[in-house]
Structure 1
Amino acid sequence: MLSRRFLLLVVLACFGALGCRGTQRPDVTFVGMCMGTSWKVTIVRDGGFDADEVPGLRAAIESELDGVDAAMSTWRADSELSRFNRAEPGDGVELSEATWEVLDLAREVHDLTGGAFDPTVLPLVRAYGFGGGEASTTPSEEELVELRARIGLELLIDRRPILDKSVPGVEVDLSAVAKGYAVDRVHDALVANGVERFLVEVGGELRVRGERPDGGPWRVGVEDPRTSTERVPYAIVSLSDGALATSGDYRNTVELDGAVVSHLFDPRIARPIASHVASASVLAPSCARADALATALAVLGGPAAVELSATAADFEVFVVERDGERLVEHASPGFERCRVPLD
């Protein structure tokens, strides 16, 4: 996967920087690399359950992660999306149920946010030097006109299980959902294996179930966007069941024509975002949904994000915006209820 233009790594778990002070160490931990980033699963022994005795549990975790990567990577030439992106109109590509599920979610978030999220924006991303593209200058107006003609969900032709395109050069990138979706797949695999208390984290996006080793809720944090090297928490929330994903503009930028350009793009105008959003975090039952919404809300900005959360009522938001040297917070009431003081 992209390693990635949405490289968040802005979420810190109970282990690591926040620590689990005063508690026993988690009983079982699996770590690895997949989709161009790190992953970690922390499991609590519970009611006599011993994760070490579950045959192939690590293999089950890696199978879910590898399956998402094989289907949705834009870096692997043999992935479903890479084959679709190379295809010409009329040469549709058969997609797996998993890829269709993520594409449907992407369309749902696109509609919910008025087009602030669009998985067909990849040609624009590459034109600015992200996502494997190369750029030394900002695209010209003529180039932007050509790029806009290749962006839009209406250019995709749904003939399930076949996905086709109506014009050449249309590409799909599900990286803003895939890590969260991978977290959900691992979550479901663990539950199917009898695991009830755990934390799953893939590249900064995470989901928890049950309680941590000391019996309390998991504490997870949103990284301070003012730090360029050290990863320190800016806000901490308490979770027992649910997911947290964050999108930020401070880890992945390029300089074009003397200006710093964010890796986050507004598909509605086919340009990098011009807002002052430093980071946007979403709490939701599903990590895939939280992942996609975090990207979209970074485009919309704080006030609109809080308003949308109140309307939708199935996710909570926390947006940090820059105002000169200050940081300004926009949080939904539900997020504030989950928030705990920094130590």
Structure 2
Amino acid sequence: MKNVLLTVAFCLVLLFCAFVKKGEVRRFELSGYAQGTTYNIVYYAADSLVTQGQTDSLLQNFDRSVSLYQPNSLISRFNRSEKGVEVDGIFKTLVIHVRQINRATAGLVDPTVKPLVDAWGFGVKKPDHEPGKEEIKNILRYVGLDKISLKGNFLSKRNLHIQLDLNGIAQGYSVDLLADLLERHHINSYLIELGGELRIKGQKPGNEPFKVGIEGITGDDLDPAPMRKVIEPGDGAITTSGNYRKHHEAGGKQISHLMDPLTGYPVQNEMISITVYAKNAITADGYDNGFMAMGLKRTMAFLSKHKEMGAYIVYRKPNGVVTDTVSTYFKGHPKLN
């Protein structure tokens, strides 16, 4: 009797598996609020394998690690500490990746710029004045990745004044973690968007590719225009950095939120925005601000040697005319129209 029951149970399992295999793929959506912005996930599967509770929990855990807006997060505790703190896997991964990108961009991507970000009015607390030359010179004494050290899980710093801001790479990594969550549940067709950062895999039913619109600008770089380009990037990540959204005016000119860690001043060059493609979002997000600081010529030279990455760039010519260009990847791989 026991063998008969086992045989029946086994047959039922096979029937269930066959049903799931042949089950109709449906569209599922998740959306919520995280990191001071919104997130949206679309995935295709036979069942709702991932819930909003799971995604919210993941993002809340992420904020407990590296959110500057949470006073008890690990990064806030590090910034208040005199010598450093024990970090978790999220924090450690971000530090390791940002070190690599720092070297690749000759120091233009540097998370120790937080004192500069604060001084120029883009931090949590707003100063009552614009920093002068002496103040910037003093702040630069505490900027540089040589002033922090990661040994095991302990991230140390040389003194109290050294502070980190991982916002230039953290959001991209959180998108990657959401992608990992979906893939652990064997979901292989999805589009994840968090604060404009994207991660894409697979296709919609009917082999229809996911399409992404890239925001352009009109003649005034503070006036975003409707979608300037539509791309079909395939599997990978898309992130964007620009100086036309986060800025303020000082001395009769627009001050960008992007800091040059080598000079101590906001980035000022011909770049208006850059949309970066890479295999994962931690890479795309980690490089986009660096490319903004590098400028057009250096960025295009860099991408000519790193063809696994791509960029769509909006910039201003010397005569003031706004135009755009793309790197080799966008010319040869995805659809761009």
Alignment partner, residue 184 of structure 2: 192
Alignment partner, residue 37 of structure 1: 37
Alignment partner, residue 259 of structure 1: 253
1:50 matches 2:47: yes
Structure of larger gyration radius: 2
Amino acid across the alignment from 2:118: R
Alignment partner, residue 329 of structure 1: 324
Deviations 1:5-25 (A, max 9, x none): xxxxxxxxxxxxxxxxxxxxx
What is the SS of the residue equivalent to 1:62? helix
Count residues with an aligned counterpart.
309
Alignment partner, residue 152 of structure 1: 144
CA contact (8 A) 2:216 2:224 kept: no
How far residue 142 of structure 1 moved from its aligned partner, in angstroms, is 1.0
Write the mapping of 1:1-343 to structure 2, written as runs, cut at 5 A: 27-45=27-45, 49-51=46-48, 54=49, 57-88=51-82, 90=83, 92-226=84-218, 228=222, 232-323=226-317, 324-340=319-335, 342=337
CA contact (8 A) 1:137 1:257 kept: no
Q: Higher mean Cα deviation, 306-315 or 333-342?
A: 333-342
How far residue 149 of structure 1 moved from its aligned partner, in angstroms, is 0.6
Deviations 1:165-224 (A, max 9, x none): 112211111111111101000001001012111101110000111002442211112211
CA distance in structure 1 between the partners assigned to 2:125 and 2:134 by the alignment: 18
Deviations 1:127-149 (A, max 9, x none): 01102132343211110111101
Deviations 1:220-246 (A, max 9, x none): 122113375666211221023110001
CA distance in structure 2 between the partners assigned to 1:220 and 1:124 by the alignment: 34
**Same amino acid, percent of matched pairs:** 28
CA contact (8 A) 1:221 1:237 kept: yes
CA distance in structure 2 between the partners assigned to 1:122 and 1:283 by the alignment: 26
What is the SS of the residue equivalent to 1:27? strand
If asked which structure has higher relative contact order (CA below 8 Å, sep 6+), I would say 1
CA distance in structure 1 between the partners assigned to 2:243 and 2:305 by the alignment: 26
Per the alignment, do residues 231 and 193 of structure 1 end up closer, same or farther by CA in structure 2, a change over 3 Å counting?
Answer: farther
Query: Which of the two has greater helix per residue?
Result: 2
* TM-score calculated relative to the size of structure 1: 0.86
* TM-score calculated relative to the size of structure 2: 0.87
Runs of 4+ residues deviating >4 angstroms:
227-231
Alignment partner, residue 13 of structure 2: none
What is the SS of the residue equivalent to 2:165? coil
What is the SS of the residue equivalent to 2:273? strand
CA contact (8 A) 2:68 2:75 kept: yes
Cα RMSD of the aligned pairs, angstroms, is: 1.7
CA distance in structure 1 between the partners assigned to 2:280 and 2:336 by the alignment: 25
How far residue 82 of structure 1 moved from its aligned partner, in angstroms, is 0.3
